Amino acid sequence: MSLDVAIDAPPVTYAEYVASPETTQPVEVVDGRTIVNPNPANPHQYASARLAQILGAAAVASDLCVLVPSGDWVLRRDPLLVRQPDVVVVTREQARAPLLESPPVLAVEVLSPGSRERDLVAKRREYAEAGLGWYWLVALEAPQALVLRNDGGTFVEAASARGNGRLVVAEPFAVDLSPSDLVV
């Protein structure tokens, strides 16, 4: 589903954004422009929830926390850039903060028809430039998980798996999953 709505208003500043009330609607800010995203479809939400369960069980051994929905990650203050990955793994200190002001340990995007290009191109570039160390992309149509590692400001493939294949990684913490386990 794609129904992103850019609000036609003056650009939002960091101070205005931080002072704004919480909302349950997915909202991102790109170059100060507020974008209201539709809530993800049920299969997308299921995949995000399963990932949170799997990653949460694995991350606890490294004293890390999983947030889903992820909340707000401020990638840049001016012009304001705020993203909401589907799932993030963060330190306990980051989990206590009202929003992320530094890169999470891991960010995951579940690809949807309406977000595919944004997740594969814009967010991939933005997350790499912001210093995110690990970025996962999950496709549901033909189940696939792609693990990307930041190598000097550019993401490179570190691992991948399709269907019932196993995705086994050791960094940023040990995880073993099958992409087909993420499909309802």
Quote the domain boundaries for residue 160: 40-182
Q: Is 22 within a domain? A: no
Q: Is 116 within a domain? A: yes
Rg (CA), the chain: 16
Q: Is 89 within a domain? A: yes
| Confidence (pTM) | 0.92
Contacts of 94 (CB under 8 A, 6+ apart): 65, 100, 102, 104
Q: Is 156 within a domain? A: yes
For residue 127, the SS3 value is: helix
Q: Is 92 within a domain? A: yes
Q: Is 77 within a domain? A: yes
pLDDT averaged per 10 residues, the chain (length 184): 57 93 85 91 96 97 92 95 96 96 97 86 96 98 97 97 98 98 96
Number of folded domains that form the chain: 1
- Calpha distance 184→182 (Å, rounded): 7
How confident is the model at residue 161, as a pLDDT? Answer: 99
User: Which CATH number is 90's domain given?
Assistant: 3.90.1570.10
Identify the DSSP state of 152: S
